[in-house]
Amino acid sequence: MANTLETQIMERAEIWLNGAYDDATKKEVQNLIDNNKKELEDSFYKNLGFGTGGLRGIMGVGSNRMNVYTVGMATQGLANYIKLNFTDEQIKVAIAYDSRNNSKLFADRVADIFASNGFIVYLFDDLRPTPELSFAIRELNCHSGVVITASHNPKEYNGYKAYWNDGAQVTAPHDTNIIDEVAKISSIDQILTGKNSENISILDEKFDKIYLDRIKNKVSLSPAEVAQFSDMKIVYTPIHGTGVKLVPDSLRNFGFTNIITVPEQCIIDGNFPTVASPNPEERSTMKMAIELATKEGAELVMATDPDADRIGIAIRDNNGEYVLLNGNQTCVLLTYYLCRRWSDLGKINGNQYIIKTIVTSEMIAEIAKAFNIEYYDCLTGFKYIAEIIRNNEGTAKEYIGGGEESFGFLPGDFVRDKDGVSSCSLVAEAAAWAKSNNTTLFDLLKELYVEFGFFKEGLVSVVKKGKDGQEEIAEMMLQYRANPPKTICGSDVVTIKDYQSGEVLDVKNGNKTSMEIETSNVLQFITLDGTIISVRPSGTEPKIKFYFGVRTSLTSIEKFDEQNAVLDSKIEQMKKELNLV
């Protein structure tokens, strides 16, 4: 078996040495053959998979790496599929890219290939947030689109997200059908290039204004409160990414005037030199922004990841210290703010709905019920939120907002992916609204815990890199299915949801029922006391993720610290029981 794999690796490498690849690429492949067999294996042991969301991988030479050739083959496969679906139309596509190394190079290659296939191409003149690409597809009536980004992955990664004509990342049946078409591109000689450059049109700041004005008109609910506290100090960092211009511009468009940016992190740099990881989930990534906020006495700290679809928020507690909210807390605050303001403005008539993912706080459901708003659960990934929005189009149902624990939120349906630009503006507006009601976002969150229940969540990501890591993750999921935990923190596991089989097991009586949801490699263990543990391999990173959800009652704000410590202790105990610490 090992010899067979080694032979396959060498066969793939030989194709790159002898095919129509550039000289620098061939030189690097030869260097791997001569000097780095392990890297050669990881670079060629498979083709970089065009998954249900597109490509994501480490940049470098080889069939399992992000480079102009793997990007080109994916693009030609996507182009072929688009042509199969829109046979009698002039096909239009939009392309955007983030601040990562090689993103512009890859975007230009995608534009060239689409144009060579006869498509009208809208290419942004510089880096832009992912949500603006989604907006552009809808606004320009495009049939598809691509954004070059690896979101918040480490600097060695890049990626390629494919979108359909509704502005959302592709879902069934298009996702698997595109994969099939990409698989048919077996050689770079099948890629069309160098034709019809006149088909490429450039989108510039004039299009930005359309996007920003749409955010203001569709998202803002409290303009009077913003005007009252327009000089509220806000510190923002784009973490060297695409939010550098549009997030401050959107905040100013809402009416905020005192926006302070972190100058060192406003420098566009795909090496992300000031952070270990460009992930706003991590406090170390927010360190410079929090330090600046402390110096300036800011009330709110915000960050976006490199493609500005995720947001990180820090707010001051009662001691004046900055507390970094997790994605669930941000989602809870924004969901409550939207529901509350829609209710105050008389906009709720029973047709409204919100959406959360299956690993996002159950507190969202409690808020929705209190306001007579329908809520949906969906699989992890914003494309599933967009799919529900699409399925409800043409009905009386009206989307308010939706989010996921991984720091993504979308207010309004004019974009069909998580939107850090509009979400930052909404967070700032919610802070101004809270201030007009003589409270803060921190105190508001505690009040919500008293009203709806104290829900707390935790997350552990176990990294398993390369081919061996993939196999380890698969074995872990196999073992959890074969030998699920019987108790968690002393509470019996009463329900097991297996989203891969689509079945819910009642542990006590052994009965199984079906779930009406798309299948996915996810397990959930639910205990008698309402604790939920979810286990899923990441679809975009070499990780297996463990999500913990616990809850209790909070009888008063004064008991917050005490109950918070109890819930933290319970989450830590669960980690120990699963050998994760």
Q: Is residue 346 pLDDT above 50, yes or no?
A: yes
Does 372 share its domain with 300? yes
Q: Is residue 456 pLDDT above 70, yes or no?
A: yes
Query: Domain for residue 13, yes or no?
Result: no
Q: Which of 452, 487, 514 is the last residue of a domain?
A: 452
Please give the pLDDT value at position 3.
65
Does 257 share its domain with 402? yes
Does 182 share its domain with 223? no
Please give the pLDDT value at position 2.
53
Query: Domain for residue 3, yes or no?
Result: no
Does 490 share its domain with 382? no
pLDDT tens figures, 40-87: 999 999 888 887 678 999 999 999 999 999 999 999 999 999 999 999
Does 373 share its domain with 505? no
Query: Domain for residue 30, yes or no?
Result: no
Residue 299, both tokens: 């009330």
Query: Domain for residue 82, yes or no?
Result: yes
Q: pTM value?
A: 0.94
518: β partners: none
Does 425 share its domain with 521? no
Q: Can you tell me the mean pLDDT for 414-436?
A: 98
pLDDT tens figures, 388-411: 999 999 999 999 999 999 999 999
Longest dimension (CA), the chain: 72
Does 250 share its domain with 391? yes
For residues 247 and 452, the answer to whether their CB atoms sit within 8 Å is: no
CA 443 – CA 434 distance, rounded (Å): 9
Query: Domain for residue 8, yes or no?
Result: no
Does 181 share its domain with 235? no
pLDDT tens figures, 10-43: 999 999 999 999 999 999 999 999 999 999 999 9
Please give the pLDDT value at position 51.
74
Does 344 share its domain with 441? yes
What is the DSSP track for 345-370? TT--SS-EEEEEETTS-THHHHHHHH
For residues 254 and 226, the answer to whether their CB atoms sit within 8 Å is: yes
Q: In Å, how far are 460, 463, 511 from 483, measured between CA atoms?
A: 20, 22, 17
Active site residues: 151
Q: Can you tell me the mean pLDDT for 173-181?
A: 90
The mean of the pLDDT values for the chain is 95
Q: Choose among 254, 315, 309, 314: nearest CA to 285.
A: 314
Domain count, the chain: 3
Range of the domain at 551: 454-577
48: DSSP letter? P
Please give the pLDDT value at position 1.
44
SS3 226: helix
398: β partners: 352
Does 127 share its domain with 72? yes
CA 182 – CA 169 distance, rounded (Å): 16
User: Does residue 102 or residue 172 have the better pLDDT?
Assistant: 102
Q: In Å, how far are 307, 462, 544, 547 from 580, measured between CA atoms?
A: 31, 8, 11, 12
Does 125 share its domain with 259? no
CATH number at residue 503: 3.30.310
In percent, how much of the chain has pLDDT > 90? 90
Query: Domain for residue 331, yes or no?
Result: yes
For residues 285 and 314, the answer to whether their CB atoms sit within 8 Å is: no
User: Does residue 541 or residue 119 have the better pLDDT?
Assistant: 119
Angle between helices 37-44 and 23-35 (to 10 degrees): 130
CA 390 – CA 290 distance, rounded (Å): 38
559: DSSP letter? G
User: Backbone phi, then psi, for 280, in 5-degree steps?
Assistant: -70, -5
